[in-house]
Chain A
Amino acid sequence: MRRIGWLLTLLALTVSTSFAGTPIRGFVIDKQSGEPLPVANVTVEGMQRGSSTNLDGFFAIPNMDPGTYTLKVSYLGYHGIEYDVEVTKDVMEPIRIELLPASVALEEVVYTVKESDEEADRVSPKVSTVKMDAANIRMVPAFAGETDVLRVVQQIPGVKSSSDISSALYVRGGSSDMTLLQMDQSTVYNPSHLFGLFSTFNADAVKHLDLMKGGFPAKYGGRSGSVLEVITNDGNRNETKGNVNIGVVSAKGAIEGPLPNEMGSYAFSGRRTYFDPLLTALRNSSDDFSDLPNYYFYDLNGKVNYDITDRTTLTVGAYRGRDILDAEFGPEDSRITLDTYWGNTTYHTRLRHVLPRNAFFTLGAAYSQYRSGLESYNEDELFFEFRNRFNDLALRADFEYYGMEKHVIETGVETHVYDVNTRQRDSEVTYVSIDTTNVNVAHYIQDKWRINGRWEILPGLRTYYHEDGDRIEFDPRMAAVFYWNDNTRLKLAGGRYHQFVYAIATGGGFTFFDIWVPFDGSVDPMYSDQIVFGWEHDPTDEWNLTFEAYYNDLHNVLNFNTQIDRGQSVQDAFIQGEGYAYGFEWMARKKAGKITGWLGYSLSWTKRRFADSYFNDGAWYYPKWDRRHDFMAVGTYQLSKSWDVSAAWRYNTGQGFSRIKGVFWDDGGYPLIDPDENLSNGGIVQEYGSVNNYRYPADHRLDITFTYKHKFFGNDARLNFSIYNAYSRRALWFRDYEILKEVNNGESEYKMDESDIKLLPILPLFSYEVRF
């Protein structure tokens, strides 16, 4: 009741103040492409007033008295400008402020941008947020010739991966399913290709990303860990552009341009690997290769923006990515076929409208589908089938209100309809069958409130209703910024974060096997309580330093129950426990100059416990993604106008593993096997002891990319030469144990052999790109 009263008061305040003064509002866009620029900074010269653009490039500075003002507009990687605007008593139409990329030389720089986030942070008290644009993403050395968005994110302190060949994200102690991955506000459920080697986000299609490592505002929800928001290109509104890129692994291309009659823009991109012709040739060349599988992946992105009016734009977009792995093996006369596939399909549409006076409204619908399957059969019989389909139909409406001088109110509703069908069976028995549909509705409201020149807060509340279990949950959130001086900020954020969909990770790090299931009421929903404290400092115009400490208390965390032999509910499939994570991170980022990049370090602890369960006898343990130290150095140096070199070096503590602490002999009572004849199933039982009772050695790796920029038939072209793992220090993937048998004087003796399975050595790779 008290909450309702608070909301009504807020609404009354909103209405009462909405007609005071006139707002300055508009869009900040890229002058070359016409694309809106998210999180650009707009301030009024001589006044402590300003705003930052939202993800649609829109800003509003409310309640300005009539007069002429000068706006200072800046955006990282762009020339800043001063823009004069005249405010009258009449409501003005949204203005368009165009910025030129910093790569374009100007005869006269109108306004020297202070290349820091200081101003932006004054109007955006987000904590633990790292922003990157396309240029930042492209500067990180490519893996196998492929610039990869998630691998860039993995180079940010606080983010860990499970191995060199996994693109899964483990952020601040959370499991990979605790990070919300959004692409144009559509949720992506399994963002990996090639068993995790590459992510589904085609770097050529990405314009901007925000990684919110913790303490994120009430506008975001549905995950109890972190948020990665990826915004794809809207498309060039001025001219048709494109690029073609050929690498060792794949070919990709993109095209973008304006719609006729300046009605909007489009952007399409695609990527496909070409392992399959190579594999087919190998299969045909010799019987030795006849069992080689066939594999390829592809993804397609498309987006069309249609300007219905000057203030209303309709966006329709789609993404489809698929991995296909087919294999045949076995006897000549009865080949066994193994069909495997996985991938995402998303469709989204979004209507954004600048309302009269002080408001901005968006209405969106998105459909996201993740499918995976594995089928093993021959011409007569089905041996095994696993099918997983996860559909998420999402509807959302967001409303931003700028009518109060010191407040920006954001509120919205988000509805998800989850439809899941997971089945695991052989020809006789269905072992697992989960078939459920349920609805989750969330409402949020938050207020970006600038109290005075030093304090800014962002209180918020997110409320959930989940159909199964009839649960109503409240997630209060709060962020605060104290401006110590012009160059230093203190930040504090925290709140509660509920999660209603979970991934059953069964594949030992291969996310293809992940099964997503929604909360079904059979267990308590997972949530975390987070608190983050940060200190930010801009020692020069080019540098930004961030120190952050955090503590995450994890409740009702879930772990796949490997010991089930049947299941139709979340309760069957999971065990439930608790956990915590804490640590501190620093990041020193250089944003301009000949050398750009960052140094980062994280020191962290993560522990979990599943009390009263078989798992580790209910005791606390370090999950695999717990690593004490991570240090990373990422940078690009402009050698000349034609040559760039970028490098990334990372050091991290080894991850935990369960080391065998002993063996015992068990021939099973019933003579299942003859231990003297057969060792692989053997009479020897390995006893692992507590979970992750040991650690792999620390790991470090250097990747380098040289880029040669030149002209190709008059078009901009880039030749990228990448060296993955430059000093060929192969990371340990996992440790394998083998039992060796010796017979001495007729008596069998055994020995355990420990061997390390290592990842990739040095790999020189290249790609060639032409932009037209």
Chain B
Amino acid sequence: MFKRTFLLLLILGLSISLMTGCTDESDEVEEYDPEPVLNAYFEVNNTFGELQLQRVAKDVFNSYNPRDYGIVGADIRVMAVYDELNDVELDPAVHRVDFDVESTDFPGKYSTTADTIVHPFWRYRIEVRLPGTGPGEPADLWAEDVAPDTFTIASENYPQYNDLWNVQPADPQDLGPEYPTFNRDMDVMRLTWSDAWTPDGNPNGMPVVNPKGGLLLGVWAQNDWEDLEWLDEDFIDDDLIPDDFDKGGWTIAPDYQNSTLLYWLFVSFEGPQRMDAIAVSHGYYRYMFTRISQIGSGGDVPSYEYNVNGGLGCFGFWTANTMYFNMERVD
């Protein structure tokens, strides 16, 4: 009797389970309607350069060529809307740049013929009207960010090389003796950088937002791939450089950080190197930071912090200091 009751209950339970408990498998991936993506990064104190407008490519397990996913024929403009330093509204009609030149080589890349300069401390707004959207209609994509101020960078313990920042060599792959040479036995380099803006420097004494979102610091080997040589040949036994090995690396510092140590140990290759310190706007920093923080997070993967409304991507500004140096092996 018990066996029969138990079996009945078991069958009933399993049946109910199977009927009501079908696994919820999202069909999001199959039915995904790819969003438009806007990536626009402009250098402070320089003319507006190139930007890219595309759609997310969803069929990536076969083949992906970025050129196949560009969105052409869009209406794109950037306008300055506010001077954060002086707390003054700007007229967007006056400070407007149209990106009306489309690349024929890379569909989806747009540039401008305007010689307008990106102004530090200014808040800019970008508006994109996709093909089919009229000029009087609301923008399909838009974003705002504030361009950071320029900054200076110096080494506390290698002050003799401070003059070499932003000195462009004739040949980045063959640095002359005027460029410093380091090795792994030498002291690490301590770098400090000035704030993009400090309250004392505010001419109006007005509290304003520091437009610098953070700083990226990177070192990249300058030699061609086939000429790369390990600094430590025992570090990785294979004489060959693996395909997936980076020629350099970069790290990111939040806006409250004003110094860092550069460890020679983490430079992998012999020869000429390029070191970049890049102050980026807040939107740019958050986008890069969330990309980094996701690496190895292993948990429930969140999306990146995009600042483009109506789609994905990032609209940001940067300003950089660059220095070249050589690395030598110590046997």
Contact = CB atoms under 8 A, between A and B. Distances in A.
A134 B2 CA distance: 29
Given A661-B29, A678-B247, A666 B52 contact: yes
A67 B305 CA distance: 77
Nearest to B299: A508
Nearest to B21: A603
Given A508-B299, A663-B57, A672 B218 contact: yes
A103 interface: no
B298 A679 contact: no
A665 B67 CA distance: 9
A374 interface: no
A424 interface: no
Given A683-B66, A749-B65, A381 B216 contact: no
B205 interface: no
A665 to B, nearest CB: 4
Contacts of B209: none
Interface in B94-149: none
Interface in B60-106: 60-67, 69
Nearest to A604: B21
B65 A750 contact: yes
A677 B10 contact: no
B240 interface: no
A452 interface: no
B14 A563 contact: no
B273 to A, nearest CB: 14
B232 A332 contact: yes
A628 interface: yes
A334 B265 contact: yes
A742 B243 CA distance: 12
Contact of A509 (B21, B298, B330): B298
Contacts of B63: 742, 749-751
A749 B290 CA distance: 26
A490 B56 CA distance: 55
Contacts of B67: 747
A332 B234 contact: yes
Interface stretch (B165-173, B194-202, B311-319): B311-319
B158 interface: no
Interface string A609-633: 0000011110001111000110000
A752 B61 contact: yes
A621 B256 contact: no
Given A334-B265, A566-B256, A588-B6, A673 B26 contact: no
A563 B293 contact: yes
A429 interface: yes
A334 B57 contact: no
A668 B305 CA distance: 15
A428 B257 contact: yes
A511 B61 CA distance: 33
B28 A661 contact: yes
B181 interface: no
B317 to A, nearest CB: 9
A689 interface: yes
B276 to A, nearest CB: 8
A333 interface: yes
Contacts of B243: 679
Contacts of B61: 751-754
Contacts of B2: 539-540, 543
A662 B263 contact: no
A663 B302 CA distance: 15
A547 B5 CA distance: 14
B293 A664 contact: no
A687 B56 contact: yes
Given A428-B260, A614-B302, A693-B26, A666 B6 contact: no
B265 A664 contact: no
Interface stretch (A262-270, A275-283, A652-660): A652-660
Interface residues of B, number: 98
Given A331-B265, A614-B305, A695-B25, A673 B69 contact: no
Contacts of B297: 506, 508, 562
Contact of B300 (A334, A621, A698): A621
A603 B16 CA distance: 10
B320 interface: yes
A672 B259 CA distance: 20
Interface in A70-103: none
Contact of B246 (A507, A599, A673): A673
B175 interface: no
Contact of B56 (A336, A664, A672, A754): A664
Nearest to A747: B65
Nearest to A509: B298
Contacts of A333: 184-185, 232, 330
A748 interface: yes
B41 A539 contact: no
Contacts of B291: 685
B161 interface: no
A688 interface: yes
Nearest to B255: A565
Contact of A659 (B13, B29, B290): B29
Contacts of A657: 301
B238 interface: no
Contacts of B32: 661-662, 689
Nearest to A329: B235
B208 interface: no
Which residue of A426, A621, A749, A754 has the most chain B CB atoms within 10 A of its CB atom?
Answer: A749
A381 B188 contact: yes
A688 B312 CA distance: 12
A462 B47 CA distance: 66
A563 B259 contact: no
Contacts of A545: 6, 9
B327 interface: no
A653 B65 contact: no
A623 B300 CA distance: 7
B56 A663 contact: yes
A372 to B, nearest CB: 17
A772 interface: no
Given A562-B294, A588-B10, A751-B64, A691 B29 contact: no
Interface string B239-264: 00001111110100110110111010
A11 B298 CA distance: 53
Contacts of B21: 603, 628-629
B257 A429 contact: yes
A603 B13 CA distance: 10
B220 A666 contact: no
A681 B291 CA distance: 10
A688 B32 CA distance: 11
B154 interface: no
A677 B66 contact: no
A505 interface: yes
A665 B26 contact: no
B160 interface: no
Contacts of A559: 300
Interface string B299-311: 1111111000000
A571 interface: no
B299 A614 contact: no
Contacts of A640: none
Given A666-B37, A670-B318, 13 more contacts: A506-B297, A560-B299, A562-B294, A562-B297, A562-B302, A601-B17, A614-B305, A628-B23, A679-B243, A680-B245, A694-B28, A748-B65, A751-B60
Question: Which 6 A-B residue pairings sit nearest by Cβ, starting from the closest?
Answer: A508-B298, A669-B41, A665-B66, A662-B56, A331-B232, A658-B301
5 contacts: A288-B237, A383-B263, A562-B290, A629-B23, A664-B55
